Amino acid sequence: MRIIGIILVLIGALSLAYETFRVERDKVNQNVAAGERAVWIPPVVGGITLVSGLILTAVAYRSKED
35-66 confidence digits (pLDDT tens): 777 888 899 999 999 999 999 999 988 876 65
Q: Are 23 and 40 in contact (CB under 8 A)?
A: no
What pLDDT, on a 0 to 100 scale, did the predictor assign at position 33? 62
Q: How confident is the model at residue 29 (pLDDT cuts 50, 70, 90)?
A: low
Residue 14 backbone dihedrals phi, psi, to 5 degrees: -65, -40
Provide the CA 50 distance to its chain's centre, in angstroms.
Answer: 9
pLDDT for residue 27: 63
Task: Say what the pLDDT of residue 51 is.
Answer: 96
Helices (H), strands (E): how many in the chain?
2, 2
Helix, strand, or coil (residue 36): strand
Measured distance CA(48)–CA(3) in Å, rounded: 17
